[in-house]
Amino acid sequence: MRPSSSGPPCAPLARPLVIGASGLVGGAFHARLAAGGYAVTGTYRANARPGLERFELAGDSPALLERLRPSAVVLASALTHVDYCENHEAETLERNVGQVRPVAAWCSSHGVPLVYFSTDYVFDGAAGPYDEDAPTRPLNVYGRSKLLAEQVVASCPRHVVLRITNVFDIGFDDRNFLHRCVTSLRDGQSLVVPSDQLATPTYATWLADQTVRLVEAGRLLADGSPQRLHASCDDLVSRADFARRVASRLGADPALITLRTTADLHQPAPRPLRAGLRNRRWKALLGVERLPLDEALDDCLPRMRRLYARTL
């Protein structure tokens, strides 16, 4: 999945705003849009990054939106710590649902398209991977908040909800699993992973590139285009399997990967065990037959190697 070298002039991407550009997903979108030559603005909240503007969703969102007048909003900010959410339900609902409302309302009233990211945690994990229309039944507070936010976003006439899962990339710091995986293997530290939580990982670099190309091609955020899509790799894997694939690429010691069952981990939030997303619609839209996890990991490997060698 290579970025297109020169996309056609594209109204939604003329002046996009990425809220949460200091995060894993928002960072990939911000980088892809900047590389594509788009006049993108990105925001951070607590983790300042060069070129990003500070923005707090709890503040006056409409004022920011009025000032910037974006051509599209990529809403990649959320309270994403699943176990913290479980113990802070009111805060989670306020941040993940309440604070989405003014953004969706502004986009609706200004005819501006909104891109929102949801999760396979809207499902109960009894029988994944799931199609877009499968019945939802979140097991935890985070999953419930994301499902409620999907409903808020759906009030916006031009929107797309991209459900994603186990997102990986190198990102900016160790707040993501791949980053932690590489640094633990590098530093000879044991990496404790659940052996029985299955998902279909999403590679953030691909997600951003694929989404931008689909918008450029008028296949997303256009009249009649799909509004709920599952965007991930094909393979249903455990965290342990994922970590082993990383270790083998880096020539690291797989014995550092320590398996635990979810029951043994005593995580505060119940997890959907057999979750994951069936990506058939996404692949059909992209016109590709396969999105293999191994190809995504290979694409990321040069950056994984630099992090492993401490040169990143």
Secondary structure string (H, E, C) spanning 89-143: HHHHHHHHCHHHHHHHHHHHHHCCCEEEEEEHHHCCCCCCCECCCCCCCCCCHHH
Output the CA angle 122-123-128, nearest 5 degrees.
Answer: 140
**Residue 166 interacting with ligand NAP (CB under 6 A):** yes
Question: How far is it, in rounded angstroms, from Cα 170 to Cα 30?
Answer: 15
Locate 10 and state its tokens. 């594209």
Q: Which is nearer to ligand NAP, 218 or 303 (CB)?
A: 303
Quick one: which segment of 22-30, 180-188, 239-247, 289-297 binds ligand NAP (CB under 6 A)? Answer: 22-30
CB of 224: closest distance to ligand NAP in angstroms? 25
Q: Which amino acid is at 184?
A: S
CB of 6: closest distance to ligand NAP in angstroms? 27
**Residue 145 interacting with ligand NAP (CB under 6 A):** no
Quick one: which of 11, 35, 39, 58 contacts ligand NAP (CB under 6 A)?
Answer: 58
**Residue 46 interacting with ligand NAP (CB under 6 A):** yes
Q: Which is nearer to ligand NAP, 122 or 185 (CB)?
A: 122
**Residue 151 interacting with ligand NAP (CB under 6 A):** no
The site for ligand NAP, by CB under 6 A, has a size of 28
Per-position x/- string for 99-138, each x denoting binding to ligand NAP as judged by CB under 6 A, each - no binding: ------------------x-x-------------------
CB of 226: closest distance to ligand NAP in angstroms? 18
> Residue 159: how many CB atoms within 10 A of its CB?
23
Question: How far is it, in rounded angstroms, from Cα 189 to Cα 257?
Answer: 9
Which of 198, 225, 270, 228 lies closest to 131 in space, CA to CA? 228
**Residue 26 interacting with ligand NAP (CB under 6 A):** yes
Quick one: which of 57, 97, 178, 208 contacts ligand NAP (CB under 6 A)?
Answer: 57
Question: How far is it, in rounded angstroms, from Cα 297 to Cα 235?
Answer: 12
**Residue 199 interacting with ligand NAP (CB under 6 A):** no
Quick one: which of 10, 13, 17, 20 contacts ligand NAP (CB under 6 A)?
Answer: 20
**Residue 174 interacting with ligand NAP (CB under 6 A):** no
Q: Which is nearer to ligand NAP, 45 or 228 (CB)?
A: 45
Q: Which is nearer to ligand NAP, 36 or 272 (CB)?
A: 272
Q: Which is nearer to ligand NAP, 46 or 263 (CB)?
A: 46
- Chain contacts with ligand NAP (rule: CB under 6 A): 19-20, 22-26, 44-47, 55-58, 76-78, 80, 95, 117, 119, 146, 164-167, 175
